Amino acid sequence: MASLAVTEKNRPIGLINRDIFLSQMSKPFHRELYGKKSCIAFMDKEPLIVDADMSIEALTFKTVEVGEKALIDGFIVTRGGHFAGLGSGLQLLGAVAEAQAEKNRQIMQSIEYASVIQRAMLRTSRETLAARLQDAALVWEPRDVVGGDFYHFAAYPEGWFGAVADCTGHGVPGAFMTLLASASLSQALEQIGPREPAALLAAVNRNVKALLGQVNSTAEAAQSNDGLDAAFFWFDAAQSQLHFAGARIALHILLPDGEQFETIAGDRMGVGYVDSLADYAWKLRTIPVPSGSLVFVCTDGLTDQIGGARKISFGRRRALSLIVEQRAETPSAICENVRRALADWQGVQPRRDDVTLFCARV
């Protein structure tokens, strides 16, 4: 131990730092100066004294309150007011680190299991893509273990429905939002059907606002101001038409003989937020898509990623130009090449957001 306790009738009255004591006793004439003095002359008369039943958390706060002296010299432990032993600041730090590591381990186990739940929620959509849209590909990369992006794909005899959404935040808060928004979309699909993307956006908007208490609220009064940006689209196989409605997410179409993508911007109104109008009607756009056309949708985790030599965003133009250059490739190869280009662009920069890409040849 770095210190010695001084007791009187088994009750602590002070603490002597070994290093300070030895330093004093090594001075010239130490016998003449200190030989007949009591050890009380060398002790700290106001050491940190704690009860043996005090919790680690309470002891930590108490030690921080006292300052670095308690970490260096240690502290006296009592039981019923009587001396029980000495505590080391280093041992306390080790115990705190161990307790924090255990808490972190438990939290990570919970988050990893949450990832299993989130991926299970998306599994049906992936199976639909594999079975019905064989010439389509998807990249879904949460920034953290779980993420705030989600997608939904469903096949019908007359065509297929797709959705790509970016919920508020990422990590655990974003993942909670994906569960809420995905459930709202599934409910709307059962009630409205897949052929009206604009009506589906409106239904999800009303439901999310109601669930989060963001109806007739102000940003100051509401407990949350959360929502999502989304692209909903219905492909009519018989008519070779794509019906699209977007909330701050665009749809990009490259015709078989086109030289560049046609971008159909989404409305500037987000879904579910406090300032999103409860009765807002998203615009429905119908686009002819000849056979062989490429359809591309992404969340802003792709376009907003900082990187490159000048540390600027990846950008929409860069992504679309890359796809045009590789238009002859399969959607799977296109998505993988875009993903690799993003990783190269990012370099040592931290990932800013979740990333979702969808590409299909229709």
Average pLDDT over residues 240-265: 96
Does the pLDDT at position 35 exceed 70? no
Query: Percent of the chain scored above 70 by pLDDT?
Result: 91
Identify which has the larger pLDDT, 335 or 70: 335
Q: What is the spatial distance between Cα 65 and Cα 54, in angstroms, rounded to a whole number?
A: 15
Q: What is the spatial distance between Cα 67 and Cα 73, in angstroms, rounded to a whole number?
A: 11
pLDDT tens across 218-252, in order?
A: 655 667 899 999 999 999 999 999 999 999 999 99
Q: What is the spatial distance between Cα 91 and Cα 159, in angstroms, rounded to a whole number?
A: 66
Looking at residue 219, its pLDDT comes to: 55
Q: Indicate the average pLDDT of the chain.
A: 90
Does the pLDDT at position 149 exceed 90? yes
pLDDT band at 61 (very low <50, low <70, confident <90, very high): confident
pLDDT band at 203 (very low <50, low <70, confident <90, very high): very high
**Cβ contact 296:252 at 8 Å:** yes
Does the pLDDT at position 124 exceed 80? yes
Does the pLDDT at position 148 exceed 90? yes
pLDDT band at 133 (very low <50, low <70, confident <90, very high): confident
Residues 6+ apart with CB under 8 A from 176: none
Phi/psi zone of residue 224: left (φ > 0), alpha (ψ -120 to 50 degrees), beta?
beta
Does the pLDDT at position 47 exceed 90? no
- Name the CATH topology of 115-361: Phosphatase 2c; domain 1 (3.60.40)
Does the pLDDT at position 147 exceed 90? yes
Q: What is the spatial distance between Cα 97 and Cα 91, in angstroms, rounded to a whole number?
A: 10
Q: Are strands 75-79 and 241-247 parallel, antiparallel or unpaired?
A: unpaired
Q: What is the spatial distance between Cα 275 and Cα 258, in angstroms, rounded to a whole number?
A: 38
Looking at residue 22, its pLDDT comes to: 62
Q: What is the spatial distance between Cα 28 and Cα 303, in angstroms, rounded to a whole number?
A: 73
Does the pLDDT at position 32 exceed 60? no
Looking at residue 128, its pLDDT comes to: 93
For residue 28, what are its two tokens?
Answer: 């010239």
Looking at residue 170, its pLDDT comes to: 86
Looking at residue 28, its pLDDT comes to: 63
Query: Percent of the chain scored above 90 by pLDDT?
Result: 65
The residues spanned by each domain of the chain are 3-87, 115-361
Looking at residue 46, its pLDDT comes to: 83
Looking at residue 39, its pLDDT comes to: 64
pLDDT tens across 332-341, in order?
A: 999 999 999 9
Average pLDDT over residues 175-187: 96
**pTM for the full predicted model:** 0.80
For residue 49, what are its two tokens?
Answer: 């004294």
Which residues in 237-272 are b (16+ Cβ under 10 Å) and which e?
eeeeebbbbbbbbbbbbbbeeeeebeebebbebbbb
